[in-house]
Amino acid sequence: MSDQAQNSDGQAPSASSPIVEGDDIAQYRLTNPLEIGAVLRQLANRGDFVTVYFNEGRQFLLTRILEVDIRERTFSFDWGGSEHTNKALLLADRKLFVASPDGVKVQFALHDVSQAQFEGKPAFYADFPDDLIKLQRREFFRLETPFGRPYKAAFSLEGSKFEINLHDLSLGGVGLRATQQDAAKLEIGMVLLQVHLDLGAGGVLAADLQIRSKRAIATHMGLQFQVGCQFVNLSRSAEANLQRLMAQLERERKALTG
């Protein structure tokens, strides 16, 4: 058992919240066992965390993939720190595995998982899933917001009120297009609390944002700044709403560009 394996006595990492599946996700579904094995082996080699949700999402286990056998189409993953959680996972009907290495969402489901040994210690053992979703967020889920009807971010900071246009939108966060004056007050690492994101037809979403990047851009309106922000503890329901909105934006973009 790794020191990093954890049980469900806490909060699952927001970056590993499950993907809401639909027609827009179908193109990212892998069914070739060799491709599935390659993704699992990459997770194992990197030591990435994998969150396993079970009992309809009421419980989870934070673990790592230990070994992948592509020829036998099996893999093992780390035993958790709580025997109660381990036994509950073994007995659960459906287990949903979610990982987010470098912003790439990986998700698959299993029903049958058994107990085994790995290097003399208890571990979980399972066959490859029938299919696996590998979703490149930065390729599919980072979309520029409508230019003619800009979405806006409204928040308060040190007693001042801000209303800044959104440049782009993703499941991981948003890009703000700020004036030089506003950008001077937005420092990298700062957490903006209860930002109200006006997403047009998508409604208003309240979320905390952490500023991760800031760069100057020369425009016809003068010098502006693109401020990259990451969602902090975004709820699963809010992420589901974002996915639906972004799928709609992608359809509109494709209709315009042909």
217 phi and psi, to 5 degrees? -135, 130
| Domain end (from 79, 113, 139) | 139
Task: Domain count for the chain, please give it.
Answer: 2
Q: Supply the pLDDT for residue 138.
A: 47
- On whether both 150 and 89 belong to a single domain, the answer is no
SS3 category, 31:
coil
Q: Supply the pLDDT for residue 62.
A: 93
pTM for the full model?
Answer: 0.55
| Domain end (from 139, 163, 181) | 139
Q: Supply the pLDDT for residue 232.
A: 85
CB 85 within 8 A of CB 136: no
Question: Measured between alpha carbons, how far is 84 from 238 in angstroms, rounded to an integer?
Answer: 31
Token digits for 79? 């035993």
- On whether both 25 and 83 belong to a single domain, the answer is yes
The CATH number for 184's domain is 2.40.10.220
Q: Range of 30's domain?
A: 14-139
**DSSP calls for 44-82:** HHHT-EEEEEETTTTEEEEEEEEEEETTTTEEEEEPPS-
The pLDDT profile of the chain, 258 residues, written as one tens digit per residue, is 544 455 554 555 545 667 666 545 667 889 999 999 999 999 999 998 999 999 988 899 999 999 999 999 999 999 999 999 999 999 999 999 999 887 688 999 999 999 999 999 999 999 999 999 987 654 445 677 776 778 999 999 988 999 999 988 887 788 999 999 999 999 988 999 999 999 887 888 899 999 988 888 877 777 889 898 988 878 778 877 887 887 777 777 666 655
- Is residue 5 a part of any domain in this protein? no
Q: Supply the pLDDT for residue 6.
A: 52
Residues forming beta bridges with residue 127, ordered by sequence position: 74
The pLDDT tens digits of the residues spanning 159-212 come to: 899 999 998 888 778 899 999 999 999 998 899 999 999 988 788 889 999 998
- On whether both 155 and 253 belong to a single domain, the answer is yes
Question: Measured between alpha carbons, how far is 101 from 107 in angstroms, rounded to an integer?
Answer: 11
- On whether both 215 and 157 belong to a single domain, the answer is yes
Dihedral of alpha carbons 74, 80, 83, 89, sign: negative
Give the list of residues 6+ apart from residue 126 with CB closer than 8 angstroms, or none: 74, 75, 76, 77, 110, 112, 113, 114
- On whether both 188 and 229 belong to a single domain, the answer is yes
Run of H or E including 152: strand 152-157
Residues forming beta bridges with residue 74, ordered by sequence position: 69, 127
The CATH number for 107's domain is 2.30.110.10
- On whether both 82 and 154 belong to a single domain, the answer is no
Q: Supply the pLDDT for residue 103.
A: 67
| Domain end (from 121, 139, 157) | 139
- On whether both 104 and 28 belong to a single domain, the answer is yes
